């Protein structure tokens, strides 16, 4: 029996979701050491604190990258680290957590997102920190990390 294009799409979506779920543990274990190393390389005092209190570093990151030129060669590296930071910041600030978006109707389906927010005033059920980091990186200087992290979540 021949599969329709819809069957093939659904099958590939299910496979993609399975692959992302299988990789989630590695993603979760990688993000904090990478974020710590990032803050260490930037010369921040007590860089280990980014793991528990990322909000302490928001002003430094905002000021440090406000006018930075993000080269194509460093783009993925930068987006990954800023995405990890945005995710940790939002998870701690708004009492959320990292998860895989398993909703096929969602625009962030199969992505690693932060959601489950229990903070009053949050206007969206989940956000994609890596997409936010990409928007931030693509914003011409001067850019604002402070504005980027809060614009999609609170009224």
Burial per residue of 55-91, b for 16 or more beta-carbon CB atoms within 10 angstroms, e otherwise: eebbebbbeebeeeebeeeeeeebbbbbbbbbbbbbb
Q: Which residue has the higher pLDDT, 121 or 98?
A: 98
Boundaries of every domain in the chain: 5-150
The confidence score (pLDDT) of residue 140 equals: 93
Is the pLDDT higher at 97 or at 8? 97
Residues 6+ apart with CB under 8 A from 3: 11
Overall average pLDDT of the 141-145 stretch: 94
Average pLDDT, stretch 55-73?
95
pLDDT in tens, 146-155: 998 877 776 5
112 sits in which H/E element: strand 112-115
Burial class (CB in 10 A: 0-12, 13-18, 19+), 122: buried
């Amino acid at each position: 029996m021949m599969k329709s294009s819809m069957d093939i799409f659904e099958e590939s979506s299910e496979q993609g979701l399975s692959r992302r779920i299988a990789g989630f543990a590695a993603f979760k274990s990688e993000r904090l050491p990478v974020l710590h190393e990032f803050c260490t390389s930037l010369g921040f005092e007590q860089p280990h604190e980014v793991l528990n209190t990322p909000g302490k570093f928001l002003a430094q990151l905002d000021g440090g990258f406000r006018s930075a030129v993000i080269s194509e060669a460093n783009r993925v590296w930068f987006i990954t680290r800023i995405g990890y930071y945005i995710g940790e910041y939002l998870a701690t600030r708004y009492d959320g957590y990292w998860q895989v978006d398993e909703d096929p109707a969602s625009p962030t389906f199969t992505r690693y997102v932060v959601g489950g927010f229990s903070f009053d005033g949050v206007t969206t059920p989940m956000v994609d920190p890596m997409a936010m980091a990409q928007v931030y990186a693509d914003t011409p200087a001067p850019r604002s990390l402070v504005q980027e992290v809060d614009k999609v979540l609170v009224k």
